[in-house]
Amino acid sequence: DMEKERETLQSWKERVGHELDVVVAFWLEHSHDQEHGGFFTCLGRDGQVYDDLKYVWLQGRQVWMYCRLYRKLERFRRPELLNAAKAGGEFLLRYARVAPPAKKCAFVLTRDGRPVKVQRTIFSECFYTMAMNELWRVTGDAQYQSEAVEMMDQIVHWVREDPSGLGRPQLPGAPASEGGQAVLENVSEDGEELSGCLGRHQNPGHALEAGWFLLRHTIRRGDPKLRAHVIDKFLLLPFRSGWDPDHGGLFYFQDADGLCPTQLEWAMKLWWPHSEAMIAFLMGYSESGDSALLKIFYQVAEYTFRRPEDLMNMQHCNLLCLPENYQMKYYFYHGLSWPQLSYIAEDENGKIAVKRSHRRLGLAQKLMDQASRAMIENFNAKYSVPLSSALFPCSNRAALHLYSNTLNFQISEVEPKYYADGEDAYAMKRDLTQMADELRRHLELKEKARHVVLGSIENKVEGKGNSLPSSGEACREEKGLAAEDSGGDSKDLSEVSETTESTDVKDSSEASDSAS
């Protein structure tokens, strides 16, 4: 109902708002260059600067963001935000343009403002304009307004009249078309559709981003017919083709004909396309009232907020505790390729802990069994490897005991000198055939029990004066069938269910002993 929908949307508003607070605090603390002005944008997760080059479009975007937050949200109406925006604006005024009074902006600058590279695009200039416009709106300073208007006039001239000022010749032609069935990323220099992979190249994130730009345009025009066209062709079309139906998430790149893209990173699921999709579908729902668009927003939001930083924490913990150095793509590959097999537990301090009272209760075994069942159910797997540590040092007797004696893994091979210190590693796997057979048998028993209970109900309904069976009677009939089918086996269905289903580790709100 509407009340529940409002509550759900309010919950998402609070969740996104919290993320915004965290992000803004991070950039306020770590990105400001107090010596030369402007902002550092190449930052590690700990805030450490790993490259001091300054990209003009990122400088402009940060100024714009600070100003917009200051102007629109009461909780961000703080002096440090406005002062940071002004400092960033002064850096842009002083250094962004390559050869003033010419309007062309550099793409990237050194830390102290010297140009490094100029691109034949308008993106640096666009973000320069946005920064100046927002600074004018916040401060009322006419200098910022003048800069914004002059640069915008220049951008319009480059786009509509003469692109030669960008370093590109003016060429005839019209944009290519796929008959409204695809949004293409590239066309030829004369505006024709390109042949081969380059011409079929698609970027779902760019299409969705353009979609909500166009959606805002239709809102200002008050044109519901055009709005419906934009939703259909720039929101739903790229989403349906770009969404991974198996594992969720938007692919980075696609081929318009459904062939394999040539870019090696095509299957990556980046954060920004999902942010664009969330904006697009929530805006589309707000304007059209179409509940299908809201459903897609929830779908994208749930995927986007699966806490990808957990993978970062996993890598950090690995580096601290183990003599190995897997690249981040290893964790993203496994976590995003097989989300059904991923179980992450952590407390508010980022540590995994087990209360002393709950140790030696077989939690590790239950977690591994849970993952193994997921492998069988989702992928019909025949073997399992301990993914969290598919290889571990031969000297780690505790790990060997856990996997061999408790979890029934077998050593498949020894990887010589696997670790940086030269130690060998065991590679192990587990035969899942028996577990798969037990799962199938359990499902068959449940199905047979269901038919018996339904048959009993039907028989009693047919007889005059007979009432429906109680829940206890139904359970007794189900258990009786299970015992009969198993040839007198003492385990009834409830016990089978306990061993094959109820192995989730329940969360505890009580204080726990920390163990990283």
Q: Note the pTM of the prediction, 2 decimals.
A: 0.61
One domain for residues 225 and 115: no
How far, in whole angstroms, is CA 288 from its chain's centroid?
26
**Residue 46: what pLDDT?**
86
Domain end residue (candidates: 163, 193, 214): 163
pLDDT > 70: percent of the chain: 71
Q: Could you tell me the pLDDT band of residue 201, with boundaries at 50, 70 and 90?
A: confident
Task: Judge if 113 and 15 occupy the same domain.
Answer: yes
Same domain, 300 and 416: no
Q: Based on the domain organization, do 70 and 133 belong to the same domain?
A: yes
26 domain-assigned? yes
**pLDDT surpassing 80 at residue 33:** yes
pLDDT at residue 477, as a whole number: 42
Q: Which residue in this structure is represented by tokens 């429906």?
A: 468
429 is a domain residue: yes
CATH number at residue 70: 1.50.10.10
Mean pLDDT of 113-135: 95
Lowest mean pLDDT among 13-17, 40-44, 209-213, 386-390: 386-390
pLDDT score at 466: 46
What is the predicted pLDDT for the residue at 416?
Answer: 87
pLDDT for position 405: 85
Does 91 share its domain with 144? yes
Q: What is the pLDDT of residues 315-340, one digit of tens each?
A: 666 666 555 566 666 666 666 666 65
Q: Is 125 inside a domain boundary?
A: yes
Same structural domain, 128 and 277: no
For residues 247 and 387, state if they share a domain. Answer: no
In a domain, 480, yes or no: no
Residue ranges in 31-122 assigned as alpha helix (H): 56-72, 79-95
Tell whether 75 is covered by a domain: yes
∠ CA 124-300-16, rounded to 5°: 70
Say if residue 228 is in the same domain as residue 298: yes
Confidence class of residue 395 from pLDDT cuts 50, 70 and 90?
Answer: confident
CATH number at residue 428: 3.40.630.30
Which residue has tokens 């400088």? 59
Report pLDDT for 349.
53
DSSP for residue 490: S
pLDDT in tens, 35-79: 999 999 999 888 999 999 999 999 999 999 999 999 999 999 999
Q: For residues 144 and 229, state if they share a domain.
A: no
Residue finishing a domain among 114, 136, 163: 163
Going by their DSSP bridges, the two strands 54-55 and 49-51 should be labelled as unpaired
Q: Domain check: are 44 and 130 in the same one?
A: yes
pLDDT of the residue at 407: 82
Residue located via tokens 């018996």 = 452
Which are the contacts of 334, defined by CB distance < 8 A and separation ≥ 6? 342, 387
| Structural domain includes residue 398 | yes
Are 452 and 478 in contact by the 8 Å Cβ rule? The answer is yes
What was the pLDDT predicted at 369?
Answer: 82
* 272 pLDDT above the threshold of 70: yes
Is 345's pLDDT higher than 80? no
Most confident option among 240-254, 384-398, 410-424:
240-254
**Is the residue at 183 inside a domain?**
no
Among the three residues 384, 404, 435, which one is the final residue of a domain in this structure? Answer: 435
pLDDT tier for residue 255 given thresholds of 50, 70 and 90: confident
Residues 267 and 406 in one domain: no
Q: What is the pLDDT of residue 98?
A: 92
Instruction: Check whether residue 152 and residue 216 sit in a common domain.
Output: no
Q: What is the pLDDT of residues 151-186, one digit of tens each?
A: 999 999 998 888 777 766 555 544 444 456 777 767
Domain of 92, in residue numbers: 2-163
Q: What is the number of domains present in the chain? A: 3
- Domain membership of residue 403 (yes or no) is yes
Judge whether 105 and 98 are in contact, CB under 8 Å: yes
